[in-house]
C-alpha cells in the first residue's frame, strides 16, 4: 500500500512518514513534521539530474517551492547537450541524448543558478571560417545561448563557462551591458567568435580564453579580431580591479602589446597563463611579467621565449610557487640558474620537453627547490642512477612526470615507489624498457596513486583491448588504497 501511496501523492507520503511516533520521543510537533518532510524532499531532489528536478517541480506547489531551493541549483554542467555531474559523467544516461534550445532555456529559467557551464567536445576549430555550413548538430547557437542566459536569475550567477561554444555578439553584449553584476569567473576557452574578448565586469576575478592547443595560421585573423576588441573596450571603460587569474591561450604575435596594456592596472594578479605564444618578438612578455610582481603561478608552456625573459621572471616574481616552461625553447642553463636563485619558493616545476636545458641543471633544481610537483618528461639522458638522486632530493613529490626518459628501466619504478610514499599522479608514457609485471607491482605499492599516464608504453602492446587496464585495477584492489585508480591515454 505504501508503494502505491508514494506514486499517488508523494508529498502526503512524506508528511505521513514524518508524523509516525517514536518510542523514545513520542509524537512529533507540527514544526518537526514539516522540517522532516523538507529534509527528505531535499535529499531526494539532490540525487536527481537537473532535468528530472525540473520535472518534479511540476508535481504541485510544495514540490515546486522545494525544487527552487538555491542549494539544489548551485551548479549546472551541460556537456554536448547532456547534463553531467561534477566529474563529467552523464547524470541521466537513460534519458534524452541531448537538450534542444527550448529545453535548455526551460531548464535554467528562473533557477537560482550560481555556476553554469556549457561544453561541446565536437566543435570544429575551423567553424569560424565555414559559417556557410551552419551550426553543427548538437551545438547551441549564439542566439540560443543568449536566450538561456537571459532566462537565468542573473543576480545570482557568479561563474559562467562557455567552453568550445559558438557564443558570439549576443552573449558578449549581455555581459558587457552588466547583465551579470556579480559575475566573478568567466571562461570562454574555445568559443570561436569571442576567443579573446574580455567583458569588463567590476566583480570579475577570473578570466580564461583562447584555444588550449596551438592555432593554425589561417585562424590568426579570428584571434586578431578578438584582441582588437579587448583593446577597444579596455580604452573605453574602467579595468577589473579584482582580477587575479588570467589565461590567454594561442596568442597571435601582435597581441602581446595589448595584453601588456590590459594588465597594467592588475595589481592583484596572482595566476597568469599564456601558452602557445609564437610571437617572434616577445619583448612585451617581459613587460607583462614586470607588471605582475605578486605572481604565484606562471604558465608559459609551448611559448617562444626570447633571451632575457627568464631573467626578468627571476628578478621580479620572488613569490612564485608554480612555474611551467614545458616545451619552451630555447632555455639555457645560465638563465634557469637565475630562476633557482630568484624564485626559491617554487614547489611545482614543469620542464617537460624543455629544449636547451641540461640534465645536470635539472638535478640541481631538485636539490635547490623543495618540490611537490615535477615534470621532467623528455630528458632522454636521465638514467636510473639519476632518478635515485632526484627521488632522494624530493621525497615530498605528489606528482611526477618521466615520460620520454628512454633510458630508465624497471629499477626506477622501485625507486619511485619506495622513495615517494605520497605520490598521487605520474606519467610513464613512451618508456620502452618498462615491463608490465613491474608496472603492476608499482601500482600495488603506491597507495595514494590515483592517476597514471601510460600512452606509448611498449609493455601494453601485448594485450588485447583493455585487458591491461583490468589487471592494473586488480593489482590496485589488492592493496589498501586511498582513492580509485584512473588511467589516461594521451
- DSSP state string for 409-445: -HHHHHHHHHH-TT--EEE-TT-TT--HHHHHHHHHH
> What kind and span of H or E run contains 208?
strand 206-210
Beta strand pairing call for 322-324 and 297-299: parallel
Rounded (10°) angle between helices 359-368 and 384-393:
20
Residue 232 has a CB neighbour count (10 Å cut-off) of: 12
**Mean of pLDDT over the chain:** 76
- DSSP state string for 161-187: EEES----HHHHHHHHTTS-TT--EEE
Closest CA to 229 of 198, 256, 260: 198
Show the DSSP H helices in 317-382 as ranges: 333-342, 359-368
Residue 320 has a CB neighbour count (10 Å cut-off) of: 22
Instruction: Give the list of residues 6+ apart from residue 33 with CB closer than 8 angstroms, or none.
Output: 15, 18, 19
Model confidence pLDDT, tens digit, residues 26-55: 566 766 666 667 777 778 887 887 777 777
Q: How far apart are CA 240 and CA 246, in angstroms?
A: 11
Per-residue pLDDT of the chain (490 residues; tens, 9 = 90+): 333 334 444 445 444 444 444 444 556 676 666 666 777 777 888 788 777 777 787 888 877 777 777 777 777 777 665 555 544 455 444 333 356 677 777 777 777 788 888 877 655 544 443 443 444 445 677 788 888 888 887 788 889 888 777 766 777 777 766 678 888 998 887 775 554 445 456 788 888 877 666 655 555 555 555 555 554 544 444 567 788 888 887 766 566 666 666 666 566 889 998 888 766 555 677 777 888 888 999 999 988 777 788 999 999 999 999 999 999 878 899 999 999 999 999 999 999 998 889 999 999 999 999 999 999 999 999 999 999 999 999 999 999 999 999 999 999 999 999 999 999 999 998 899 999 999 999 998 998 888 888 877 778 888 877 788 888 888 887 665 555 666 654 4
Q: Which residues pair with 247 in a beta bridge?
A: 208, 273
CB hemisphere CA count around 425 (13 angstroms)? 7
Contact 67, 57 (CB under 8 A): yes
pTM of the prediction? 0.79
Q: Which residues pair with 76 in a beta bridge?
A: 116
Q: How far apart are CA 59 and CA 62, in angstroms?
A: 8
Set of cell numbers at residue 122: 565536437
Model confidence pLDDT, tens digit, residues 195-233: 444 545 678 888 887 766 665 555 555 555 555 555 454
Q: What share of the chain is helix, strand, coil (3-state, %, to 5)?
A: 40, 15, 45
Closest CA to 10 of 60, 73, 68: 60
Amino acid at each position: 500500500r505504501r508503494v502505491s501511496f508514494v506514486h499517488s501523492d508523494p508529498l502526503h507520503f512524506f508528511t505521513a512518514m514524518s508524523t509516525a511516533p517514536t518510542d523514545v520521543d513520542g509524537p512529533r510537533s507540527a514544526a518537526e513534521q514539516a522540517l522532516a518532510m523538507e529534509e527528505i524532499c531535499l535529499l531526494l531532489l539532490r540525487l536527481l539530474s537537473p532535468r528530472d528536478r525540473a520535472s518534479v517541480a511540476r508535481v504541485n506547489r510544495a514540490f515546486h517551492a522545494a525544487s527552487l531551493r538555491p542549494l539544489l541549483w548551485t551548479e549546472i554542467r551541460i556537456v554536448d547537450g547532456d547534463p553531467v555531474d561534477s566529474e563529467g559523467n552523464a547524470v541521466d544516461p537513460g534519458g534524452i541524448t541531448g537538450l534542444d534550445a527550448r529545453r535548455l532555456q526551460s531548464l535554467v529559467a528562473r533557477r537560482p543558478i550560481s555556476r553554469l557551464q556549457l561544453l561541446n567536445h565536437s566543435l570544429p576549430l575551423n567553424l569560424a571560417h565555414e559559417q556557410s555550413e551552419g551550426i553543427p548538430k548538437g551545438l547551441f547557437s549564439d542566439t540560443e545561448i543568449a536566450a538561456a542566459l537571459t532566462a537565468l536569475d542573473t543576480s545570482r550567477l557568479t561563474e559562467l563557462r562557455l567552453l568550445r561554444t559558438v557564443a558570439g555578439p549576443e552573449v558578449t553584449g549581455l555581459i558587457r551591458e552588466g547583465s551579470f553584476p556579480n559575475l566573478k569567473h568567466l571562461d570562454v576557452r574555445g568559443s570561436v567568435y569571442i576567443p579573446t574578448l574580455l567583458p569588463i565586469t567590476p566583480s570579475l576575478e577570473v578570466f580564461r580564453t583562447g584555444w588550449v592547443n596551438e592555432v593554425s595560421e589561417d585562424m590568426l585573423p579570428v584571434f586578431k579580431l578578438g584582441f582588437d576588441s579587448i583593446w577597444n573596450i579596455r580604452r573605453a571603460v574602467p579595468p577589473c580591479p579584482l582580477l587575479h587569474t588570467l589565461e590567454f591561450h594561442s596568442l597571435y604575435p601582435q597581441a602581446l602589446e595589448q595584453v601588456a596594456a590590459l594588465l597594467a592596472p592588475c595589481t592583484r594578479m596572482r595566476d597568469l597563463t599564456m601558452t602557445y605564444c609564437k610571437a617572434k618578438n616577445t619583448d612585451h612578455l617581459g613587460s607583462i611579467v614586470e607588471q605582475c610582481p605578486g605572481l604565484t603561478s606562471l604558465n608559459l608552456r609551448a611559448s617562444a621565449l626570447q633571451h632575457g625573459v627568464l631573467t626578468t621572471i627571476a628578478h621580479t616574481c620572488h613569490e612564485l610557487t608554480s612555474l611551467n616552461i614545458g616545451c619552451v625553447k630555447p632555455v639555457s642553463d645560465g638563465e634557469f640558474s637565475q630562476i633557482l636563485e630568484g624564485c626559491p619558493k617554487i614547489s611545482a616545476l614543469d620542464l617537460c620537453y624543455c629544449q636547451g636545458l641540461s640534465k645536470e641543471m635539472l638535478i640541481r633544481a631538485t636539490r635547490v627547490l623543495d618540490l611537490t610537483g615535477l615534470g621532467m618528461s623528455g630528458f632522454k639522458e636521465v638514467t636510473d642512477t639519476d632518478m635515485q638522486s632526484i627521488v632522494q632530493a624530493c621525497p615530498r613529490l605528489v606528482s611526477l612526470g618521466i615520460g620520454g626518459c628512454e633510458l630508465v628501466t624497471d629499477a626506477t619504478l622501485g625507486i619511485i615507489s619506495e622513495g615517494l610514499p605520497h605520490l598521487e599522479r605520474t606519467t610513464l608514457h613512451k618508456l620502452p624498457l618498462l615491463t608490465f609485471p613491474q608496472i603492476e607491482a608499482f601500482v600495488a605499492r603506491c597507495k595514494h596513486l590515483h592517476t597514471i599516464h601510460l600512452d606509448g608504453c611498449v609493455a601494453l602492446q601485448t594485450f588485447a583491448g583493455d585487458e591491461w587496464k583490468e589487471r592494473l585495477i586488480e593489482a590496485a584492489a589488492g592493496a589498501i588504497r586511498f582513492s580509485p585508480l584512473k588511467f589516461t591515454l594521451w
